[in-house]
Structure 1
């Protein structure tokens, strides 16, 4: 479970879409916190999806 009763992947997808909309120049402009290997891999996958949309 992620924050505020939402699944981690849903929250990560929302954050990644918001960051992509801001057109950050580098990832150092943004921080997404993943507390496990599984969450990190989830964020990586979602980031790849958002970039390809």
Structure 2
């Protein structure tokens, strides 16, 4: 008897990895936006002085 994962456990693995990916993606997106905002702010300060 070979130990192959059941279709249900495969679905769970796919769902978990998809869930984690979307969580990481949204975090990265938020991080990118905040970095862009900080860059704009720094450039704004440089123009003022």
Pairwise TM-score range, normalised by the shorter structure: 0.3 to 0.5
More helix by share: 2
Higher relative contact order (CA 8 A, sep 6+): 1
Is the radius of gyration larger for structure 1 or structure 2? 2
- TM norm structure 1: 0.33
- TM norm structure 2: 0.36
